[in-house]
Structure 1
């Protein structure tokens, strides 16, 4: 003899279908939010390319001449930008790509980014208005595996 599955009342079946639909809509909504966050557009700029207001952007959207609200140690996923006529945490003076290839290790990437920024600062014969440091944003391993080789150089007040 073969057992037969119990018959599910229609009410439970309707609840199950509703649960699946709600879950699907939720997953699509979260996916859309993630997509929008990852494809954020350029910061708002005027005709000359200058940032027009305080806003948040991705580090790879920074351009030479942009000013950031502040710089922090550690991985940077979003960064504040603002017009440079306001007190700021640093100004971008160079943007360049590190050479392609397999991930060389964090210490190697940091050394290459620091050397690239320092060399560019010296070559441009830049002078800081007040005591400052050269600061750089560089790729991390996860970004490197997705093709990120960008390095952004900033002069930041001490």
Structure 2
């Protein structure tokens, strides 16, 4: 398995319910929306085009609502529940290029989830970009389930995210051969 150029450019963000610990004491949870409601966060999501399902406005979106083709700006937190999305025709840092749903009832462990995420994202990199990862100037990482989101929110989705370390891009990186 090939790895990103350096650990400094590789980010391994996990989906998580950031207020889970406090909220778990109050009531059982079934998803991010419940957590957001408990802490007073906004339940509204940025608007999507009814036909293409692409975001047509910027704003914070639930990380569980991300879809292939969504564009967003970078977040620096290790554990996230929301991400700043933007329409892809506007400058942005990142794009979701592949989703993988993991199987199983029991959380397989951080290392196993990370390994499976790396393998899947790497395997889908060249078909998306049109150039092998080792020859590309682009990088990738994955939003992946944490043990808490796996067990409490039945989160099984790994979202592969591509980015250009040189800075923001406008439009999709699909077929860019960069």
TM value normalised by structure 1: 0.69
- Unpaired segments of 5 or more residues in structure 2? 1-25, 27-34, 166-178
> Secondary structure at the residue paired with 1:138?
strand
The root-mean-square deviation of aligned C-alpha atoms, in Å, is: 2.7
TM value normalised by structure 2: 0.62
Contact kept, 8 Å, 2:45 with 2:59, in 1: the verdict is no
Partner of 1:62: 66
One of 126, 132, 140 as aligned partner of 1:134: 140
One of 146, 150, 155 as aligned partner of 2:157: 150
Residues 121/73 of structure 1: CA separation in 2 closer, same or farther (3 Å cut): farther
Partner of 1:4: none
- Unpaired segments of 5 or more residues in structure 1? 1-26
1:55-78: CA deviations, max 9, x gaps? 101111111111011143511111
Specify which structure has the bigger relative contact order, considering alpha-carbon pairs within 8 angstroms and separated by 6 or more residues. Answer: 2
Structure 1 residue 34: Cα displacement: 1.9
Contact kept, 8 Å, 1:42 with 1:61, in 2: the verdict is no
Structure 1 residue 132: Cα displacement: 1.6
Partner of 1:85: 89
> Secondary structure at the residue paired with 2:98?
strand
1:53 pairs with 2:57 = yes
1:43 pairs with 2:46 = yes
- How many residues in Structure 1 have an aligned counterpart in Structure 2? 127
Contact kept, 8 Å, 1:59 with 1:79, in 2: the verdict is yes
Partner of 2:102: 98
Structure number with greater Rg is 1
Residues 32/148 of structure 1: CA separation in 2 closer, same or farther (3 Å cut): closer
1:113-153: CA deviations, max 9, x gaps? 1111111223445349x832011100001011121111111
One of 109, 120, 124 as aligned partner of 1:116: 120
